[in-house]
Amino acid sequence: MAHYGLTKTAFGSMLVAVDGERMIALKFDVDDARLPAAVEDLHRELHGAFALERSEAKVRGAAKQIRDYLAGKRMDIDVQLDLSWVTPFRRDVLLECARIPRGQVATYADLARRVGRPKAFRAVGNTMRTNPIPIAIPCHRVVGSDGSLTGFGGGLDMKQRLLALEGAR
């Protein structure tokens, strides 16, 4: 049984989902009013890999790490991640994205090259668009080939704020 709960952060209210000690999802802009639809979306996105039950207590540790990170109180998020349910290509891309150091950025093309699929930059972009665990898997650190800020689930303003929090230039 996986568990989910809400947490209020410096970047807004978010849904955090965990399976035991492993984080499986993070969704932006979810409050009590939006929670039922967000849980329905999450269940669909997880392809039914997890039964979901609300428990603020079970997500407390992961939620605190997210809150503290976004408040500038910690430099990294060291919660375990569960990507067992994504395709091998997406898993490779997400894990490579997780290796982008704080304060640095990479392009979609960089990630495509790093996973051995240099022409798959659009597929990398789609993987970033559907990143199940943003912030912990820092897709906000991925930029266009010209260095421009491109799509982000929390919006470009949030992407810019996250990069500024991390000291990226």
pLDDT in tens, 104-119: 999 999 999 999 999 9
- Give residue 115's pLDDT: 97
Joined together, the tokens standing for residue 39 give: 């849980």
Catalytic annotation on 139? yes
Using alpha carbons, list the distances in angstroms from residue 82 to 9, 17, 25, 52, 75.
22, 10, 9, 15, 21
For residues 28 and 16, is the Cβ–Cβ distance under 8 A? no
pTM exceeding 0.85: yes
Q: Is the pLDDT of residue 153 over 90?
A: no
For residues 75 and 110, is the Cβ–Cβ distance under 8 A? no
For residues 139 and 152, is the Cβ–Cβ distance under 8 A? yes
Query: Which run of H or E residues covers position 107?
Result: strand 106-107
Q: Tell me what percent of the residues of the chain surpass a pLDDT of 90.
A: 92
Burial class (CB in 10 A: 0-12, 13-18, 19+), 8: exposed
Instruction: Provide the angle, in degrees to the nearest 10, between the axes of the packed helices 88-98 and 121-129.
Output: 80
Q: Which of 30, 38, 63, 139 is catalytic?
A: 139
- Give residue 48's pLDDT: 87
CA atoms within 13 A on the CB side of 71: 10
d(C-alpha 114, C-alpha 69), whole Å = 27
pLDDT-derived band at 31 (thresholds 50, 70, 90) equals very high
Output DSSP code: residue 101: P
pLDDT-derived band at 151 (thresholds 50, 70, 90) equals confident
